[in-house]
Amino acid sequence: MAHNFAINDNVHHQQQGPQGRADVKERSIYTIVTCLPIEADGRPRYRIRSTTENVERVVTEEQISRLG
């Protein structure tokens, strides 16, 4: 499986609440900083940085979506 996003792409990230439940907060906009290696479970991972806060996260591809 290949990465579907590239460095500097802006994406939406849906925050998750406890036990993986979707949080009711609005989706945040992040920028892809790094495409991480695909791990043993086959899911591409990314390091993303918030465009509005000083926050970075490591997420799997299913946790982000394209803008628009």
Which domain CATH number covers 53?
A: 2.30.30
Q: Is residue 25 part of a domain?
A: yes
Is residue 30 in a domain?
Answer: yes
Q: Tell me whether residue 37 is in a domain.
A: yes
How far is the CA of 23 from the CAs of 15, 16, 34, 55, in angstroms?
A: 6, 5, 25, 17
31: containing domain: 10-66
Q: Judge whether 3 lies within some domain.
A: no
Q: How many domains does the chain have?
A: 1
Span 41-53, pLDDT tens digits: 999 999 999 999 9
The answer to the question of residue 5 being in a domain is no
Q: What is the pLDDT of residue 15?
A: 72
Question: Is residue 2 one of the residues assigned to a domain?
Answer: no
Q: Is the pLDDT of residue 22 over 90?
A: no
> In the numeric block, which tokens belong to residue 9?
């792409």
**pTM (predicted TM-score):** 0.82
